[in-house]
Structure 1
């Protein structure tokens, strides 16, 4: 077998001559997209700057052509079969080879293999891919399907940020516009193109199945010594190799398998080929398991599968697999039904965020290193899971490679979101099934894969439509039939056939669907008693974030508040004269209608608002961070008896510079939320429940071993007068949240002082009194707490070429101490933290640019909430 990637010597040409856009012809390398090429060649201005997005719709309303010439060697031409494989074309194409049409495509989520042997010439071959604009296609579909036309009206009414008709084309939905993303549906060759030459047969796919044997039944193990002794004695592994056999097998062929363990051992198996499916089995005793980052090492085993003819290797696949056991546990209990995951027998509290595509132009984002940057940042914030949201894509292999290596689980939505799809169309349905099968085969062996989820909010949206748009019963039944058939019959059947080792969940949110809930699925799709929930009463309905504590759910997979990106990021799309909340450019980079007003409203409820825009930006991030922290603390304290076992906030990242719910902005800069996530997602952490009548101190332990720690607290006023303090040494069992101390506020408030003006500082230390965490909790909103100027003193000391130590001393209480530099980017070991009166701390700083380290120390500034609020 021979493979040749067609990377260089491509031409991109504009095929629609209107609006003065003529004779555009560019040299490009593959993969690239039309927008990326036009930006790189300065044909269009940066779509992300200002309001440029609104001036370039001609790009996606045009037809475009990619062309290249290639010559194949005699060696390639002598193979029996020659295919060309397109790993990703976005989206509608006609493909020509030597002026003969050889195929067409209509799905960006799947690959296409075409037989080119009959069309190949010995001399130069000309390949042309004509991309048809997607807008004409979806408009024709809207007109064609009269019954479904209401969706266009719904899109215009509810989703004025999106181009209508997105559900009719298998193209990433976010690209059509979302409440955090621009209307920039890209076009082009977004994945590699490859010529494959072979004789008779090749490897089609590999499926690794694992069967685990424990020394103790994990579901019966208690959180005592028995639980700590839980281990996997043996795993039986079955490797199914599926072959693509084009013709009769000629000669002796065999499958050769080599497994290399992390500790250097090797297991070799081989089997002769007599039919399409070849199975090899073996066992591993006391295996090195793959763990999420907080529970252990994410060990990966190298699996090499060779297809041999005699002694010649004619095809080969290399995989990295994790030996791990993942189960979704759903058991009836006093609250309804559990919804949690066990990894290698350990019940895991899922901690993470929702993941959207890295860029509006994905190849550009990949080349910019956004995958490693953003996923590493998630790991550094103590996340153990990312949910690949259904309005995006099946992610690039690089995404899963990094998650496998860093020990991060992946909740995988199929790419359906917030729409009702034309599954009544047999050709559309057939194409979707091919797409799903291909991607299940591609991803099913991933160590990081946690769950297959049918869609994002399609089930819930249908329920809401039934409630608010008052469909006639006849229409309602038709809609229900289409959705139930696909998401509850067709899709789970495909998943079970091609990947029986991972659970399928019909939608997010969902309580399991209509078929598994005796007819109650759609109406109760966001039920707190079972399944996963999305909670948007905070933010969309304007409730205060204190409402999070009243929302007791089994697993919360979406919730959030918006904030502005950093001023450095804002400067990349907005001139200084537009630096105010409601400027035209700022509003264009806020896709959720009037949400800038909503940000200001939430801020006003908690803070006095400064006049300066740059201070308002930071304050918005603090507001967002304290809100999500408040919710996460509550849900993590609720993990006992599996009451709540997951938190995935919306959202981790951005696809362009925008005001959104993210904790990382488009440029990878950490917002206040991401710094706080590092604390509230720590596997061992402390929290405080404050109320009018009591203060309750808690510690949560998500680890599989008991943890002994020292918990210290102080209740005081702004002047440092202490009303109550204490210290406890406690041992917290594994996978448990423990109430350490409950203090009756009335009992310590005998002098009738205004307790609302007090503050709780708390500290968590390990047994050697090394500080693990510091935190605070107010009894009232910050704007009512009489802050004094903390008179922060700080200095920066160089430790080595890569690290600096920042020492900070607070003369008075300092809340939300934040470190910044106008000139340089840096990583901080902590940020947006609190210091008590007279308290000192050391923060490690690591500048990103090696060339500026001599000047770095002088650029650092340290401020706090007090500095934000003073005019």
Structure 2
């Protein structure tokens, strides 16, 4: 299938004029186009229909060669696929008209990963990075009639091994319990595809993004970036168009048409006369000045609306006014600043006032960032862009009052649709670059492909209102300083490679292409302090600086007193099991559903994970090992324990805004890639765990948040994420015993708190109560200016010690009706 872009654009917009129909023709080479794709292996024992976008696992499953990859032990039973060599072959027709264009480019938006390409029997190029868009000039290779495109893939496992033998970089392999593959750090491929502690290994190959042929005569706009700055009552908007041409010079003019409020439009034009580089690329710009009165502010979720404005950027022929190429994007007007300043300016000369702040200021307001961490929506990257899945997950985040998601560095740069949806929902994105939990090579070949990757993806994503900050990697600074991978003896070598990659290569690219956003070298890190300390801090977890990742499986995670201070908690979590219903989609053998089964051990990738869950449950809940429903209860109790742990830790961070200026809580993790124990709040398939239901409360914009102290008292905080203060309010504490639904005691306390902050309201003394096993406390807020605030609870002792609980004898209403 092919189409002429200009004609389609004009028809869609009702603007059909006397423009030429030969602006740019797009030949669609995906499976939706008039293309026949086939897939075969090296010895030709397998030949099946192929899909584009697609991948080898999905195509073999469709053909019945393998079963559901997420069922049973199929992640290892199908591992032979990753060791074979695979070829995708596409056959498509071209007319004589298609050969009459001056330029013919084959554009591959995403190839996973190491491949050699041939068109009609002639080599045209290679790929080595699944995050890079590859563009090949194929004019001399195409012909009238049937054309054949062949993409030959190397085994990613073997390709990684070959590079490791030449440029070994720690670690050698993942832990055995991961059931994974080695040397993922050698390939620019989704790192989690070689396995992780929450997911299986599926080292796929395939064409995971769209594939087209572009035909044009003069020049096209490949991408557009927008740089928006506030200057008093005006917005300065700088637009940069990234152009491609066959000529040495691009002459013409650019126009930009921006929708504003009241269904009005602002248009600007600028002549273009630029010299193209050797590869035919060039840039041209346009500058707007827009009054703040004609556009409205874009706000994160929970703080305001998310107005987005259509921006159309067009390239025209100078002489004929013909529209040669056009790009449409949506932009939002907001300011985002990551503030790292002397903490004593806020906290005074206290212990907490040492160091630097670390918080996001949006539209000049300091906002506490509530949210989670996003892993790929599917372990097979071609399935991760499914719009229904993205919608479900992002809407769930929105509904739980999340204002930020961290796109984690072991996954992928998400689809355009993902970021567009985040723009619409007001979910800010902390975007890691895709390096995680490893040291990485720094040879010239590796650095060159990284440069392409960073340039292309920063340019692609930069215009989105949702992008808040870039981070170079996940946990690699702390891994090097902490000797996670036995690098201590070669510390200087690995530090040199670290700086060469993240500082000398990535940092200048990001700061040149997107100077308005902060680039953090790592997460966690001490932010600016790490930079001052040579990029590898002595203690990257210093609570006085930057962001932290915190996990403690040995302490009582329900106890808020175990958690250290932090300026920003960008990762923290505790595991739970998915529901029995979700587990049953991975096995139909009832013998698999007990804690020590081979199946459950296979699905638990975290070393010691089940033991940690069991020990955490035992601290607060009674679970008899001999109970015939032990496994069913273990699943349920694991979700209770996870939810209560995350509630305690998250509320601790929100409370700590008052005395440590903690300004963010992003728990690990939002979503799942298979049916297994993990840290997620949403199971694979979309079912909410108890954690996500709890998140709707512990992330509530207004919350009474009590904390049981080590002394046995209760410190009561009032959290206010609104842009207005709460005044003349009242906190009500109802005391219940476990035998009644009516309070046995009620007390109230005056309450008030400024906008966008947290304040301790009172301390309730309960240390001397003799009946703490018989009671619990419920806290609520009464305020004329607050529409809703969830109730909150304190349990003075472990729930398993509670006295007075009775079996409820609850039955469904319809059952009672039938009996009556």
Q: CA deviation at 1:550?
A: 3.8
Q: 2:584 aligns with which of 566, 571, 594?
A: 571
CA contact (8 A) 1:206 1:441 kept: yes
In the other structure, the counterpart of 2:12 is none
Aligned positions of 1:29-428 closer than 5 A: 29-145=51-167, 148=168, 151-152=171-172, 155-156=173-174, 160-214=178-232, 233-248=233-248, 253-275=252-274, 276-286=282-292, 287-309=295-317, 310-333=320-343, 334-367=353-386, 369-423=388-442, 425-428=443-446
Q: CA deviation at 1:237?
A: 1.2
In the other structure, the counterpart of 1:801 is none
Larger CA deviation: 725-734 vs 649-658: 725-734
Q: CA deviation at 1:169?
A: 0.7
Q: CA deviation at 1:777?
A: 1.0
Q: 1:13 aligns with which of 39, 50, 71?
A: 39
Q: 1:783 aligns with which of 797, 800, 811?
A: 800
In the other structure, the counterpart of 2:15 is none
CA contact (8 A) 1:757 1:779 kept: no
3-state SS of 2:181 partner: coil
Q: 2:603 aligns with which of 589, 608, 625?
A: 589
Q: 1:711 aligns with which of 731, 735, 738?
A: 731
Aligned positions of 1:659-670 closer than 5 A: 659-670=677-688
CA contact (8 A) 1:335 1:643 kept: no
- Does the C-alpha gap of structure 1 residues 743 and 521 become closer, same or farther in structure 2, counting only changes over 3 Å? same
TM-score normalised by length of structure 2:
0.89
Q: 2:493 aligns with which of 464, 478, 486?
A: 478
- Does the C-alpha gap of structure 1 residues 156 and 320 become closer, same or farther in structure 2, counting only changes over 3 Å? closer
Q: Is 1:624 aligned to 2:646, yes or no? A: no
How large is the Cα RMSD of the aligned pairs? 2.3
CA contact (8 A) 1:258 1:268 kept: yes
- Does the C-alpha gap of structure 1 residues 142 and 280 become closer, same or farther in structure 2, counting only changes over 3 Å? closer
CA distance in 2, matches of 1:243, 1:769: 52
CA contact (8 A) 2:241 2:283 kept: yes
3-state SS of 2:488 partner: coil
In the other structure, the counterpart of 2:279 is none
CA distance in 1, matches of 2:190, 2:148: 29
Q: Deviations over 1:113-142 (max 9, x none)?
A: 000001111221111111111121122222
Q: CA deviation at 1:75?
A: 2.8
CA distance in 2, matches of 1:771, 1:495: 42
CA contact (8 A) 1:761 1:777 kept: yes
- Does the C-alpha gap of structure 1 residues 755 and 545 become closer, same or farther in structure 2, counting only changes over 3 Å? closer
CA contact (8 A) 1:757 1:780 kept: no
Q: Which runs of 5+ in 1 are unaligned?
A: 215-232, 797-856, 861-871
CA contact (8 A) 2:480 2:487 kept: no
Larger CA deviation: 105-114 vs 766-775: 766-775
CA distance in 2, matches of 1:858, 1:672: 26
CA distance in 1, matches of 2:288, 2:775: 64
Q: Deviations over 1:536-574 (max 9, x none)?
A: 2x22x5554426654111111111100011111011012
CA distance in 2, matches of 1:586, 1:316: 53
Q: CA deviation at 1:775?
A: 2.2
Q: CA deviation at 1:766?
A: 4.5
Q: Is 1:502 aligned to 2:517, yes or no? A: yes
Q: CA deviation at 1:583?
A: 0.9
In the other structure, the counterpart of 1:603 is 617
Q: CA deviation at 1:156?
A: 4.8
In the other structure, the counterpart of 2:776 is 759
Q: Deviations over 1:774-812 (max 9, x none)?
A: 22110111111125236376877xxxxxxxxxxxxxxxx
Q: Which runs of 5+ in 2 are unaligned?
A: 1-23, 275-281, 344-352
Larger CA deviation: 786-795 vs 725-734: 786-795
Q: 2:570 aligns with which of 547, 552, 557?
A: 557
CA contact (8 A) 2:671 2:681 kept: yes
3-state SS of 1:651 partner: coil
Q: Is 1:447 aligned to 2:465, yes or no? A: yes
CA distance in 1, matches of 2:378, 2:743: 51
Q: Deviations over 1:661-690 (max 9, x none)?
A: 000000110000000001111111111112
3-state SS of 1:2 partner: strand
- Does the C-alpha gap of structure 1 residues 234 and 514 become closer, same or farther in structure 2, counting only changes over 3 Å? closer
CA contact (8 A) 1:387 1:410 kept: yes
CA distance in 1, matches of 2:542, 2:691: 27
In the other structure, the counterpart of 1:523 is 538
Q: CA deviation at 1:369?
A: 2.1
CA contact (8 A) 2:338 2:360 kept: yes
3-state SS of 2:398 partner: helix
CA contact (8 A) 1:327 1:342 kept: yes
In the other structure, the counterpart of 1:841 is none
Q: CA deviation at 1:344?
A: 0.5
Q: Is 1:732 aligned to 2:753, yes or no? A: yes
Q: CA deviation at 1:699?
A: 1.2
Q: Deviations over 1:511-559 (max 9, x none)?
A: 13776223473331121110000112x22x5554426654111111111
3-state SS of 2:165 partner: helix
Q: CA deviation at 1:46?
A: 1.3
CA distance in 2, matches of 1:283, 1:90: 42
CA distance in 2, matches of 1:470, 1:144: 18
Q: CA deviation at 1:36?
A: 0.7
Larger CA deviation: 709-718 vs 128-137: 709-718
CA distance in 2, matches of 1:497, 1:368: 32
CA distance in 1, matches of 2:535, 2:186: 28
Larger CA deviation: 635-644 vs 33-42: 635-644
- Does the C-alpha gap of structure 1 residues 150 and 492 become closer, same or farther in structure 2, counting only changes over 3 Å? closer
- Does the C-alpha gap of structure 1 residues 779 and 296 become closer, same or farther in structure 2, counting only changes over 3 Å? same
Question: When the two structures are aligned, how many residues end up with a matched partner?
Answer: 763
3-state SS of 2:791 partner: strand
- Does the C-alpha gap of structure 1 residues 199 and 787 become closer, same or farther in structure 2, counting only changes over 3 Å? farther
Query: Which structure carries more relative contact order (alpha carbon 8 Å, separation 6+)?
Result: 2
CA distance in 2, matches of 1:65, 1:676: 47
CA distance in 1, matches of 2:283, 2:381: 35
CA contact (8 A) 1:513 1:525 kept: no
- Does the C-alpha gap of structure 1 residues 99 and 343 become closer, same or farther in structure 2, counting only changes over 3 Å? same
Aligned positions of 1:737-756 closer than 5 A: 737-745=758-766, 749=768, 753-756=770-773
- Does the C-alpha gap of structure 1 residues 606 and 79 become closer, same or farther in structure 2, counting only changes over 3 Å? same
- Does the C-alpha gap of structure 1 residues 61 and 211 become closer, same or farther in structure 2, counting only changes over 3 Å? same
Larger CA deviation: 756-765 vs 614-623: 756-765
Q: CA deviation at 1:641?
A: 6.7
- Does the C-alpha gap of structure 1 residues 759 and 641 become closer, same or farther in structure 2, counting only changes over 3 Å? closer
Q: CA deviation at 1:771?
A: 5.2
